[in-house]
């Protein structure tokens, strides 16, 4: 499964726009998001469709994002994973 290329990212642009609205992420390369210095999220394309690799619990978990329901599930999980990272940083800095 290869990383999403420019054409795939064009098709994923609505999802990328949603991710860009999340506070605390930096898009270092198109479609590759970091939380601080740590990779947090990137995308893949495959004959089976599009997938998002999201770091949650210290490991990347792959989410299909080929339907509205899959995309909404992924976005909820991305928000939760980011909130978890941010709250962990607050505890560590306390």
pTM of the model: 0.88
Q: Residues 56, 87, 21, CA angle at the centre, nearest 5°?
A: 70
Domain ranges of the chain: 2-88
Helix (H, G, I), strand (E, B) or coil at 13: helix
Centre a 10 Å sphere on the Cβ of residue 29 and count the other Cβ atoms it contains: 10
Q: Residues 50, 86, 36, CA angle at the centre, nearest 5°?
A: 70
pLDDT digits (tens, 9 = 90+) for 27-85: 999 999 999 899 999 999 999 999 999 999 889 999 999 999 999 999 999 999 999 88
């Amino acid at each position: 499964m290869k990383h999403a290329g420019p054409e795939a990212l064009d098709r994923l642009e609505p999802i990328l726009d949603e991710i860009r609205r999340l506070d605390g992420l930096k898009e270092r390369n198109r479609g590759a998001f970091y939380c601080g210095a740590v990779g947090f999220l990137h995308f893949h394309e495959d004959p089976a469709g599009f997938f998002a690799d999201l770091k949650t619990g210290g490991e990347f978990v792959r989410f299909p994002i080929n339907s509205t329901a899959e995309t909404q599930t992924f976005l909820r999980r991305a928000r939760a994973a980011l909130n978890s990272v941010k709250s962990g940083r607050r505890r560590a800095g306390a």
